[in-house]
Amino acid sequence: QVQLVESGGGLVQAGGSLRLSCAASGSIFSIDVMAWYRQAPGKQRELVARIISGYRTNYGDSVKGRFTISRDKNTVALQMNSLKPEDTAIYYCAATVRAGTVYWGQGTQVTVSS
């Protein structure tokens, strides 16, 4: 079992920055992939960024060049720069363990005002 707790969401003006953090506990040794997803009202949940085996990264097309994902032991962070109103969503941390199970955090709201 893996437990995930996100922090760092909030309200920011367009062009500003926020940093999200996700702390994992439990069987953290079994985590292969940590990722951030987001879901805006009326839209499907989408991948924002993921980090595989602690160093390989992938980003969604809409955030490339603006967001950076990083991992340090049991914490994964998402540095979000040049935020746009369309980045407004609930952001979820996710961890995939070797057995294939995906664990989710409770989500943190990010609101970008224009």
Q: How many Cβ atoms sit within 10 Å of the Cβ of residue 47? A: 14
What pLDDT, on the 0 to 100 scale, is given for residue 28?
87
In whole angstroms, give the CA distance from residue 31 to residue 101: 10
What pLDDT, on the 0 to 100 scale, is given for residue 53?
84
In whole angstroms, give the CA distance from residue 37 to residue 114: 22
> The tokens of 30 are what?
């079994």
Instruction: Find out whether 36 and 23 touch, Cβ atoms under 8 Å.
Output: no
* E strand segments, 1-114: 2-7, 10-13, 18-26, 31-39, 46-52, 56-59, 67-72, 75-80, 89-97, 102-104, 108-113
Least confident of 20-24, 70-74, 77-81: 70-74
Q: How many Cβ atoms sit within 10 Å of the Cβ of residue 41? A: 7
52-56, 72-76, 80-84 — most confident range: 80-84
What pLDDT, on the 0 to 100 scale, is given for residue 8?
95
What pLDDT, on the 0 to 100 scale, is given for residue 22?
97
pLDDT digits (tens, 9 = 90+) for 1-57: 999 999 999 999 999 999 999 999 998 888 999 999 999 999 999 999 999 987 899
Pairing between β-strand 56-59 and β-strand 67-72 as defined by DSSP bridges: unpaired
